[in-house]
Structure formats: C-alpha cells, structure tokens
Amino acid sequence: MNTPLIDPFQRAVTYLRVSVTDRCDFRCTYCMSENMTFLPKRELLTLEELDTVSTAFISLGVRKLRITGGEPLVRRNILTYFQGMARHLESGALDELTLTTNGSQLHRFAGELASIGVRRVNISLDTLDETKFAKITRWGRLPQVLRGIDAAQEAGLRVKINAVALKGFNEDELFPLVEWCASRDMDLTFIEVMPMGDLGNEDRLDQYWPLSDLRARLRERYSLTDLAERTGGPARYVRLEETGQKIGFITPLTHNFCESCNRVRLTCTGELYMCLGQEDRADLRPSLREPTAPPLEDAIRAAIRLKPKGHDFDYSRQEVAGQMPRHMSHTGG
C-alpha cells in the first residue's frame, strides 16, 4: 500500500479525474450529441463507492483529485461526496480537491464548496456572446453561467476559464475574452478541440483551430513570457506582461503532452481510462461489488501497468486520426 503508482514508462500517477455523472444540463456540440441516451442510474457508482475508490487512489499516492462529469453539480447529493473527500484534505493525504464545471449550478453550490475545502474551479466558457453561447451549448444560457462565476468569486474560489478554440466560431473573441478575464483577475486556458464522439454531427476538421496560430495572434498584441509552472495537468503556461495574467494552452494536436502524463480518469460506472485518447480501460466496479473479484488496490495497480505511452490524436493530412468513438462527457475531459 505504500508503494506509489508507477506506470510502465516510469511516470508516477498522482492525479485522478473522477467523472461522477454522464449527465449534463448543456449539450455542447464538441462534447455530446443533442439527443443523448444516458446510463441507467443502477450502472453508476454510488456516492459511497466513489468515496471508496477515490480513497483507495489517495492511499496509493494520488495527491490531486478533480471532479468532472458530464456536469458534476447536477448529480443528486454530490456535496456528500465532496464532504467525504474533504477528510483527506484535512489529514494532508490530499493536496487539492477541485472540479471542472459548466458553471450553471455554481450560484447554488459555490459557498458550500468553498467551506468544504475547494479552493479553485475550472469553468468551461467558449464565448461571451449570448446567441453564440446558446448555439454551442444548445441548452445553455450565458447569464446563468455568469451568475455562477460571480458566486464563485464572491465565495473566494479562484476561477480559471477553459475555452475550446473553435475555428470560425470564437476566433473573433480572442482578445475580448482575454481582456474580460484580465478585468476579473481570472486565468484562462485555451484547448484544442479533440476528435472524440459522434463526428457525423460535427466535423472536427472544420472546427480545429491550432493553438500555435492562436498564440501567434496573441503575440501581435502582448508580450508573452513562457512559465515553467505546472499544475499537474497538460497545460503549458505563459504570462501576458501587459496584464500580468496567466494563459494556458492545452495542445493535444499541435504538441503531444504525453511525456509527463501523471493522470488517469475514472468514469461514473467505475471504468478506469489510463489515457484520454486510447480505448484501453479497466473495470474497477467488480472489485467494489463482487466478493470474488480482485481486491480494489490490486485491480488499480494492474490497470496502471497497462497505461500507454500516449495518444494518437492527429489532424495532419486533412484527415482525423486517433479518433475516439466515446463522447468527451463519458470520461470527463
């Protein structure tokens, strides 16, 4: 139990992303279909099972826990799980408990999350235009998200905005989005759209805006200083000298960030994905529910031994390679 989780490429696994639900109150076009068929509730891990498996990972050396979905805050009684994880913050076994959210429910939960021990949240927001926001999210409403951001900041949570870079959609908002985040003292990370989900509805090649181009546009207006900072995820950061703000770039297409990967992803059904861009997975649910299954710790270690070197996402030669059939919402990004 004291031996850390080391994958076949000598990378320590210290970061677990837990998708607590596949459900969401938005239907973002790059994340899920408009008419989704969600899992039966009986297939989902209970909140108690999520606690058990998360606690096992923490005992095996995981120091950072990020809660995702779907939209994590739409799961009933989800604060019970957060409260359970807070004991690991208090003991010092866990360095950080955080979440990624669309912001729609933050006005309800921000204060309680802060009191539990959450210190920062990532909020997905691709546009500040209300009409475009309704189009990209299908079901979302921008004022509701802005209200959530207000509530998060009022509660003392550090907010980072995650924006997917979408060619022909938010290219014209690059500078307004940067300036808006600077005015509110929020960091901002741009993400390249990944080839996941039902590509019959949305053509990723048409959406793909390489962050190398986005970064070059930023240099036209700002002085960019590369930062050595790492937050346990795939982003690489720069500081805009004129505003002092931090800008992140997650570039699975223009730059493969797999060499330092320290994370795995647990789905709401108990499947452990060792790589976002590969289909290899291990089912941990039997170890939680079946007396004859391998002990949970053994199942986790066996899964980590199968962690691949990296993904195969590629848009070169004007075709999509490394495509994943599952929707982004299934593994929580």
Q: Tell me whether residue 275 is annotated as binding.
A: yes
Give the up-direction half-sphere exposure of residue 215: CA atoms within 13 A in the CB hemisphere: 22
Q: Tell me whether residue 238 is annotated as binding.
A: no
Show the tokens assigned to 196.
């996941």
**Residues with Cβ < 8 Å from 267, sequence gap 6 or more?**
19, 22, 273, 330, 331, 332
Q: With beta carbons less than 8 A apart as the criterion, state whether 262 and 15 touch.
A: yes
Q: Tell me whether residue 118 is annotated as binding.
A: no
Q: Tell me whether residue 197 is annotated as binding.
A: no
Rounded-to-integer distance, Cα 250 and Cα 257, Å: 8
Strands, E assignment, 222-315? 224-227, 236-240, 246-250, 263-266, 271-273, 281-283
Q: Tell me whether residue 258 is annotated as binding.
A: yes
Q: Tell me whether residue 160 is annotated as binding.
A: yes
Q: Tell me whether residue 181 is annotated as binding.
A: no
Q: Tell me whether residue 66 is annotated as binding.
A: yes
120-124/158-165 β-pairing: parallel
Q: Tell me whether residue 63 is annotated as binding.
A: no
Q: Tell me whether residue 261 is annotated as binding.
A: yes
Q: Tell me whether residue 264 is annotated as binding.
A: yes
Q: With beta carbons less than 8 A apart as the criterion, state whether 20 and 74 touch.
A: no
Q: Tell me whether residue 268 is annotated as binding.
A: no
Q: Tell me whether residue 46 is annotated as binding.
A: no
Binding-site positions read 17, 24, 28, 30-31, 66, 70, 100, 124, 160, 194, 258, 261, 263-265, 275
Q: Which residues are annotated as a binding site for GTP?
A: 17, 66, 100, 160, 263-265
Which amino acids are annotated as binding site for S-adenosyl-L-methionine, given as ranges? 30, 70, 124, 194
Residue list for the binding site for [4Fe-4S] cluster: 24, 28, 31, 258, 261, 275
